[in-house]
Amino acid sequence: MASLRSLWTGLVLLGMLGMLGVLQTAAQAQILLSDFQQEKFMGRWFSAGLASNSSWFREKKASMSMCSTVVAPSADGGLNLTSTFLRKDQCETWTMQLQPSENPGSYSYQSPRWGHTSLISVVEVNYDEYALLDTKGIDHDFHMATLYSRTQTLRAELKEKFSTFCKVQGFTEDTIVFPPQTDKCLKEKE
């Protein structure tokens, strides 16, 4: 009887350790960058990968194309993200004003159109090549992952990294998009 109890105790502990590993993996994706260097994050990025739980995103993902985003400092210490994208065969530009939060690489954004607030966090970055961003609604059900690239061409390893990141965040394969490049609206150099 004692050995059966030891076996069950061992199995329960093993199960808990396994669960902790899963939780740790999910939590690792949320680790904030204590050494985030905002000035190195500035400049042009391309939206190379996207995933979202939004119904709007699911409806539009087939018609999405890569957009370019210029990250610049704002007067309040936050960031201005100015994105240029193709919509109905026209180039449109949209600017998001991100407010700094208490954590490095983490910003809040309030949508002027909907009034909703989201938390945008840079969870991994190689300032010369790519950045992984995680966006979660604070007062609404919204979750988005973004892969920024410094170039329009993306290495296969980065696609795999982004897909893995998205799946850890709970996104399914059908919610992950790698928007195709377009000649319109994108400029490699300013």
Phi, psi of 78 (to 5 degrees): -90, -155
> What does the buried/exposed string (b/e) look like for 108-137 if buried means 16 or more CB atoms within 10 Å of the residue's CB?
ebeeeeeeeebbbbbbbbeeeebbbbbbbb
Looking at the 3D structure of the chain, how many domains does it have?
2
Find the mean pLDDT for residues 145-171.
Answer: 95
63 and 108 assigned to the same domain: yes
Q: Answer with the residue of higher pLDDT: 57 or 18.
A: 57
Verify whether residue 67 is a known catalytic residue. Answer: yes
pLDDT on residue 58: 80
CATH of the domain at 112: 2.40.128.20
**Is residue 190 situated within a structural domain?**
no
Predicted confidence at residue 18, as pLDDT, reads: 38
Kindly state whether residues 8 and 84 are assigned to the same domain: no
Who contacts 155 (Cβ-Cβ below 8 Å, separation ≥6)?
A: none
User: Do residue 93 and residue 118 come from a single domain?
Assistant: yes
Structural element, H or E, at residue 122: strand 117-126
Q: Is residue 70 part of a domain?
A: yes
Is the same domain home to 26 and 48?
A: no
pTM of the model: 0.78
Task: List pLDDT tens digits, range 60-106.
Answer: 878 888 989 999 999 888 999 999 988 888 888 989 999 998 889 99
